[in-house]
Amino acid sequence: MKPLIGICANYLSDDTAGLAAGIGAKNQEWQMLADDYIVAIERAGGVPVILPVTKDIETLTPLLEKLDGILFSGGSDIDPNLYGEYPIFGLGFIEPRRDLHELKLAQKVLTEMNIPVFGICRGMQLLTVATGGTLYQDLASQKPEGINHSVPKAIKHHSFHPVQIENGSILNSIFESVELRVNSFHHQAVKELGKGFKSTMTAPDEIIEGMEWEESSRFVVAVQWHPEMMEGQVDTVRPIFNAFIEASKMNAGAIELVPTQEIIA
């Protein structure tokens, strides 16, 4: 049975995307997702389902009960108020409605379900904030001694820098290596890990590029880079989607709710 994989949609509170494409009206809000996520999940053997941003998280409950895995996708910056900070110069565009929705969704999935979880870029940051961690709001101003992690006009699959992978980690077993070259399209990053997570992949400037659940019996993995953009061109990144789908197959047709655990600091 192919596993059903929920992928979180982007939410745009303005009409720019629709008007630019000629398919929308003034003041119309949008929910959308880059095709790379869909293609990567399908190639790995999963069935992708786009999860909308809803006003009430319980609206999604009937769908969540059918999912075998969930992917928290990339997108806009996360409101720093959600991790106890005021905004600084360099903070980018935020979408409060998506932030609040996904925080509740992440906490529900991590504490009330046992399905595999995969976070990409913003998804890794979202999982961090959802479990009590904090972020660098803008690496250029807060970590100027580091490397440039955000080159917006770069080719999507181009490898910008290496990452070191911790021996014995899930990511180490996935890639069968202690080093990998990755693309880079982020100006925010994890500063303090959330409760329950450990860092298992780092950039040359020590920025966390990958993390996973300390409870190794469950697949909860996140990366700061964009493997879905590289998947069709760089074979070395494909194993991470294969591993996610394989873990999700074990849940296919056998979803089990687990007692809520206290993970928020």
Q: List, by residue number, the catalytic residues.
A: 121, 226, 228
- Residue 228 host element (H or E): helix 227-230
Geometric angle at alpha carbon 213, from 212 and 219, rounded to 5°: 85
Ramachandran angles phi, psi of 174, nearest 5° = -70, -50
CA distance 95 to 93: 7
Would you mind telling me the total number of residues written for the chain in this entry? Answer: 265
String of b and e for 147-186 (b: at least 16 CB within 10 Å)?
A: eebeeeeeeebebbbebbbbeebbbbebbeeeebebbbbb
CA distance 45 to 111: 26
Rg (CA), the chain: 17
